[in-house]
Amino acid sequence: MASAKILVVDDDRHIRTLVHRFLSTHSYQVESAEDGKGAMAIFEQFNPDLVILDVNLPDATGYTLCQEMQSRTGVFVLMLTSRADEADKIHGFSKGADDYLTKPFGLAELEVRVKAILKRQRPVTAAEQQCLTFNGLSIDPVRREVTLNSEMVPLTALEFDLLHFLASHPGRVWRRAELIQKVWDYEYVGDQRVVDVHIGQIRKKIEIDTQQPNLIQTVRGVGYKFEAPDTAGEEAAS
């Protein structure tokens, strides 16, 4: 199986070179860029599995690049930035980032984050390949596509993972910490409101009324659950 492809985007030459060399020694295919223009050019040719992306670039913001890249391939994005405020992290996640690591950082921690993100690419089992259908909502885990009333729903990679996980367990209530462990694939040491941010983004895209959601419901004091409509179609086996 081919090794994962990672694009490193950072205008700091020292950090860019350090991360590039470190990941290369761990058998990843690595390319790097120092600005947004160069990053997009390499992105088109390289087609990476993961982009490690600085927020502050000379000609663009990482948030804008994250959205642009994910609109094309659904690539995973790890934000790497000196912005340590919780509000900045929440903003990054709302723009589609899969993870957020602040500078200064340790290479060992970076490796853990990279492995955790790439684990989401594991092949789905036969039982997990079945398309989930709930009235006009269809979730295809093989193509990683969601449609609503035959219209494509533009979800980020992490939004898809979260929606698919919840929809695979209709009626089951999940605490935020459980969702982080199941979907993020490791113990996320940050504000658990990141779950709320992603749920909010998904609701904007699939709910008729985000103030009174029908599909992804809040269970006060506990967490969230996916409530299948009474007229739901076939679902994958649990």
For the stretch 106-158, pLDDT in tens is 999 999 889 888 877 654 555 567 889 988 899 998 888 899 998 999 888 78
The residues near 23 (Cβ < 8 Å, ≥ 6 apart) are: 6, 8, 30, 114
Homologous superfamily (CATH) of 5-121 is: Response regulator (3.40.50.2300)
Q: Which residues of the chain register pLDDT less than 50?
A: 1, 123, 231-238
Q: What pLDDT is attached to residue 96? A: 83
Q: Which of the four CATH numbers 1.10.10.10, 1.25.60.10, 3.40.50.720, 3.10.450.40 does domain 126-226 have?
A: 1.10.10.10
pLDDT for residue 233: 40
- What does the alpha-carbon distance between residue 74 and residue 109 come to, in Å, rounded to a whole number? 24
For residues 147 and 138, is the Cβ–Cβ distance under 8 A? Answer: yes
Looking at residue 13, what is its pLDDT?
A: 95
Where, residue-wise, is CATH 3.40.50.2300 in the chain? 5-121
- The pLDDT of residue 237 is 38
Helix (H) or strand (E) segment spanning residue 160: helix 157-167
Instruction: Please give the pLDDT value at position 121.
Output: 62
Q: In 3-state terms, the chain is what percent helix, strand and coil (to 5)?
A: 40, 20, 40
Q: Where in the chain is the domain with CATH 1.10.10.10?
A: 126-226
